[in-house]
């Protein structure tokens, strides 16, 4: 399929991309909050086991597929002729935000493996602070895409 074939699919690609990003962002907001609560319970307790299940299901069942869909559909959007003016600078900021979200996702996935093994190298306070990062990245991305300040 040539890139020209993507043009008539643009509205659907954009809509599906946004839905994937919304689902991904929901997980990026919620998983660190689960880590805040998980940090405060005794390792090996029934509550800890419940948090492990919730964290695993959120990451594997929602966040991983949503991230993959967001990336695939985002690449389809940038390959669609006429969507991105490569001379403009806003897309650099958007890509920095998107890469930041991907790094954060991977950081959360590594932390989940730690919680699953009852290792807790980070404090509740750390996870409270990290819970704010997705908001900052969301603001960056939305401003870059909508306002296109440069």
Question: 30-73, pLDDT tens digit by residue?
Answer: 999 999 999 999 999 999 999 999 999 999 999 999 999 999 99
* Whole-Å CA distances, 88 to 17, 27, 76: 21, 31, 19
Q: How many CA atoms lie within 13 A of 138 on its CB side?
A: 15
When pLDDT is cut at 50, 70 and 90, the band that residue 1 belongs to is low
> pTM value?
0.93
Query: Average pLDDT of 128-132?
Result: 96
pLDDT, residue 3, reads 84
Average pLDDT, the chain: 96
Q: What is the DSSP string of 97-123?
A: HHHHHHHHHHHHHHHHHHHHTT---S-
Burial profile 15-26: b = 16 or more Cβ within 10 angstroms, e = fewer? ebbeebbebbbe
Please give the pLDDT value at position 124: 95
Q: How does pLDDT run across 66-80, given as a tens digit for each residue?
A: 999 999 999 999 999
Alpha-carbon distance of 43 to 108, in angstroms, equals: 19
Domain ranges of the chain: 9-81+95-147
| Average pLDDT value for residue range 82-96 | 92
Q: Nearest to residue 144, comparing CAs of 75, 80, 91, 104? A: 91
């Amino acid at each position: 399929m040539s890139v020209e074939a993507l043009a008539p699919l643009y509205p659907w690609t954009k809509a599906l991309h946004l839905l994937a990003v919304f689902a991904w962002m929901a997980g990026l907001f919620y998983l660190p909050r689960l880590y805040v609560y998980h940090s405060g319970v005794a390792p090996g307790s029934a509550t800890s086991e419940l948090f492990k299940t919730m964290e695993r299901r959120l990451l594997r069942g929602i966040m991983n597929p949503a991230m993959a869909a967001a990336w695939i559909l985002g690449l389809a959007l940038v390959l669609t002729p006429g969507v991105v003016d490569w001379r403009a600078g806003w897309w650099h900021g958007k890509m920095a935000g998107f890469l930041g979200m991907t790094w954060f996702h991977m950081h959360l996935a590594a932390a989940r493996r730690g919680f699953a093994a009852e290792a807790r190298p980070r404090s509740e306070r750390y996870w409270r602070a990290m819970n704010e990062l997705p908001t900052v990245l969301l603001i960056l991305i939305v401003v870059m895409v909508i306002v296109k300040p440069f």
